Amino acid sequence: MINTYDNERVILGCLALYPELYADRLPKLSADLFAGSAHRDIFNAIRHVYQQTPRYDPALIRSHLQEPDNSAELYHCAEVVSRVSPFDEHYRLLMSAAQERYIREQLADRLLDGTPSPDQLRAICDTADRAYGTDKEIDRRTDYDRYVEALGKPRDILYTRYRELDNIIGGIRRGTLTIIGARPSVGKTTFSLNIAQNIANYGRKVAFFTLEMTRDMIFEKLAARGCQLDYVALRGNIEQETRDRVADYFKSSDLRDHLSVIDDINTVEAICAYLLSTKPDVAVIDYVQIVATMRRFDNVRVKIDYISAQLKQVAKRTGCRVILLSQLRRSESGTVKPPTMSDLKESSGLEQDGDYILMLFRPHAQDKSFNRAEKRYVYPPQESAVYIEKNKFGRTGQIELNFNGSQQTFTEVRKER
């Protein structure tokens, strides 16, 4: 395997001998990419000459060296070119070596101040990747070709299986962040779990992070909906027949293989690490206001903006569809009205980062008044709606739902044709 020093010789030899073929790479290179001082001197001389005339030769380069003794090294650089691999391969090796050097230097500096935090390590690696990505520049032109080739072909879209919702938003695209907001006790955990259950039952990989409830509490909701059992009854003593029914449902459905319920991860850094390593199709986080971080923030708003931005970035990097739940501000006393994006609690970052923003509304959760004369609730417990407040890729709108608390299920209201 060619070593770093010889690899740098190949790069410089190509630039020195064949300017008509490789000089277009000069803008992508800089002297700090080269480890040896002689090689940095040679590169600076090549760049200086090229700025004066696109046609040059090693003799002209030699006259611009800062250290005349480096002329011998320039000769060696030119000598190795005829018996090596193509330039692009050596360009990648050069960038990779520079990336490794940058990481080592940054780690050495951080270690002087103590052990680097996971956040600092991630920032160092991200910066190195952006600055010295091995083949990003070379492959950039092929991004357009890949896009054109994919035109007209089916996209990898996931559907919530709520027909009207999918008709409006067009399904959920890869690498997106969806915000589902609701006021307390409306049912945002249940609604998002219904979506997760629907997607997992179609064989796609889902990770459900439950920070408020335990894993068993989530299983109770899944069992109530999947087996059409009373949710409250599942918490107490149940008959063997019911137990067998639940066991058969979990064995026969795709949930065991495709829906992971995680209740022992609570920091955004750990959530992002999990998504980077497992790369699920969908991740649901319940909910943003109780997600912790490894960093300290002066106020809650800045903390939530940071969490939102981290999840947005990991969605883009992995292609995962991240669904982030959020509490909404409580409505003014005595008022019952649908929520809007401005009700997102303690954050403007959620509005900015969200590709889709859905507001779940159930009036009964705000006003449980009972009309004794008419023997009915003013707002029936089952009446619900989802307001699509933001859709970066298309329409917004509203869908009507019915909530079945006994079986922990939201279903669409069928409209008369």
Distance between CA 242 and CA 313 in Å, rounded? 43
Scanning the structure block, which residue is given the tokens 């939530």? Answer: 304
* pLDDT score of 130: 66
Question: Where are the alpha helices (H) located in 231-371, listed in sequence order?
Answer: 240-252, 255-258, 268-278, 300-318, 349-353
* pLDDT score of 346: 67
Residue 140 DSSP symbol: H
Name residue 118's amino acid: P
* pLDDT score of 175: 95
Distance between CA 165 and CA 412 in Å, rounded? 9
Cβ atoms < 10 Å from Cβ of 372: 7
Distance between CA 13 and CA 19 in Å, rounded? 10
Task: Give the CA angle between residues 226, 203, 225 to the nearest 5°.
Answer: 10
* pLDDT score of 21: 74
CB-based contacts of 24, cutoff 8 Å, min separation 6 = none
CB-based contacts of 123, cutoff 8 Å, min separation 6 = none
* pLDDT score of 361: 94
Distance between CA 65 and CA 215 in Å, rounded? 68
Give the chain's residues under pLDDT 50.
1, 83-84, 134-135, 138
Distance between CA 310 and CA 78 in Å, rounded? 47
* pLDDT score of 138: 47
Query: Could you tell me the two tokens for 179?
Result: 């915000």
Residues in the chain: 417
Query: Closest Cα partner for 378 from 390, 387, 369?
Result: 369
- Is pTM beyond 0.85? Reply is no
Scanning the structure block, which residue is given the tokens 């739902």? Answer: 401
* pLDDT score of 236: 79
Query: Closest Cα partner for 405 from 236, 275, 271, 230?
Result: 230
Give residue 137's Cα distance to chain centre. 23
Task: Give the CA angle between residues 44, 88, 69 to the nearest 5°.
Answer: 30
CB-based contacts of 160, cutoff 8 Å, min separation 6 = 166, 171, 172, 195, 198, 199
